[in-house]
Chain A
């Protein structure tokens, strides 16, 4: 089975800090995604990447950036963390040629900004 691993389950950071959320997948998937999940708002797409060094903005990219230097790793960066970025962050990956399989998700990172 594909595994998507998010490096931290829980993080507490201070306002203004630069925060890195790491995601690694082990099945050679081309596509990787970062979502944030908030109560009542469902999953909102922050950024996605369909190849190494390629990235596209999702629905709520403000305040975030991403990096994909290797195919298996997709990092989400909060340049200057703010309290309104307190949320659950979910990483997912998928195969370009196998849309029917949908996404595989990581276990999530619960980020609290104080």
Chain B
């Protein structure tokens, strides 16, 4: 069965430090992969997506993610975290198809220390 695992429920980093949020998926073929961010009290905003091609994808707000087929991973990275990056981050995998249902991970809550 398709699934998405975000092993880290909560992460705290210092402002200016680098960040990596982990995402592992289980899927039979090459999936569509997404990272979303949710600021407190808001809906989810798309950060970046991968479908094919270059396995390192760039997104908004200085984020990037790397698709590693051999590890079934799609980890999110940022070289230098800003206080405004404090939010919850969700990884999702898409089976595509007509209804385009996504499967979401349970999220990683990022706290940023000054």
Do residues B106 and A50 form an inter-chain contact, with CB atoms below 8 A? Answer: no
Bound CA–CA A56/B40 (angstroms): 29
A interface residue count range (under 10 / 10 to 19 / 20 to 34 / 35 or more): 20 to 34
B9 neighbours in A (Cβ, 8 Å): 40
Which residue of B42, B100, B105 is within 8 Å of A99 (Cβ)? B100
Which residue of B36, B41, B100 is within 8 Å of A94 (Cβ)? B100
Bound CA–CA A99/B93 (angstroms): 11
Q: Which residue of A lies closest to B42 (CB)?
A: A107
Bound CA–CA A12/B59 (angstroms): 37
Do residues B45 and A105 form an inter-chain contact, with CB atoms below 8 A? Answer: yes
Q: Report whether over half of chain B's contact residues are helix, strand or loop; otherwise say mixed.
A: loop
A18 at the interface (CB under 8 A from B): no
Beyond A90-B43, A90-B44, A110-B41, whether A103 also contacts B102 by CB under 8 A is yes
Which residue of B34, B43, B51, B96 is within 8 Å of A106 (Cβ)? B43
Do residues A42 and B90 form an inter-chain contact, with CB atoms below 8 A? Answer: yes
Beyond A48-B101, A99-B96, whether A43 also contacts B90 by CB under 8 A is yes
Can you list 16 A-B contacts with CB-CB less than 8 angstroms, sorted by A residue number? Answer: A40-B9, A42-B90, A42-B106, A42-B107, A56-B99, A95-B100, A96-B98, A99-B94, A99-B96, A102-B92, A102-B102, A104-B46, A105-B36, A105-B43, A105-B44, A107-B42
Residues of B within 8 A of A (CB): 9, 32, 34, 36, 41-46, 49, 51, 90, 92, 94, 96-102, 104-107
